[in-house]
Each structure stands twice: as structure tokens, then as C-alpha cells.
Amino acid sequence: MSGAALHVAVGVISNEESQVLIARRAVHLHQGGRWEFPGGKVDAGEDVYAALCRELHEELDIRVISAEPLMCVDYDYPDRRVQLDVWWVRRHSGTAHGREGQALRWAPIGELAPEEFPAANAAIIARLQSAGLPG
């Protein structure tokens, strides 16, 4: 695979019940119809944290108050490379809803099934299921 990887800021948003917020990808998108952790493309010259804040506001209508890096995932699909910059959103304001019409749900970490997500997300799920959320 040639060319630069698509750089994506990803938010792991949790609630008091140790569930994480997941969103259904639009069918017309790459890996469409699968569940994903919310986020989106980091624009050229944009800071990753700023991209995370922008994307979560655009997609979910929430404002990030604090977040910290959780992990990075580099993954090669047959048709594209992605670099997922994954952040744990420690605090946010607002109630998440799908501003772009996407379905959302709170899922227990132990019930996340990698086959229901884009393959690049398997490493995130494995990390959450083995180590849980940071303290």
C-alpha cells in the first residue's frame, strides 16, 4: 500500500457503568454498517486533540473537557492505510446523540465483538478488554 495513512482521531467515551459509546458507520462509507468508536479525520496541520474535540462535537454534539492519549493503531486495509490516534475522553459536557443520523449505543466493554467493527478497531477492543479504562 502506497501513500500516506489516513490519520484519524478516535474517542473512547465511557460512562459510570464502564460502558463505552459506539456509533454505527454510514453504509456508504468505508467499512460501512459496522460499529466504531466515534471520531474522524485529522485535517492537514491540525492538532490531534483539536481534531478529536471538533469531530466529537460535529458527530455527537458533545464538548470534550479533558482527554488523554490511550494508544495508536496503524492498520493496512487492502484499499487504504489508517493511523488511529485513540484518546480516552475523561470528561465531556452535553448528551451524545447522532447529529449525522448515525445510531449510537452504550456497550459494556466485555461485550464488544471485534467482528462487528472495522478490523483496525480490534486492537482498541483488545486493549479495553484486557486492561480496562485508565484509572
Q: Domain of 75: which CATH number?
A: 3.90.79.10
In a domain, 47, yes or no: yes
In a domain, 41, yes or no: yes
In a domain, 13, yes or no: yes
pLDDT band at 115 (very low <50, low <70, confident <90, very high): very high
Structure pTM? 0.91
For residue range 6-29, what is the model confidence (pLDDT) as tens digits? 999 999 999 989 899 999 987 777
Q: How many CA atoms does the CB half-sphere of 84 hold within 13 Å? A: 26
For residue range 24-53, what is the model confidence (pLDDT) as tens digits? 987 777 777 899 999 999 999 999 999 999
Beta sheet of 104-108, edge-to-edge order: 35-36, 19-24, 104-108
pLDDT band at 129 (very low <50, low <70, confident <90, very high): very high
The domain in which residue 50 lies consists of: 6-131
The residue whose grid cell reads 486533540 is: 49
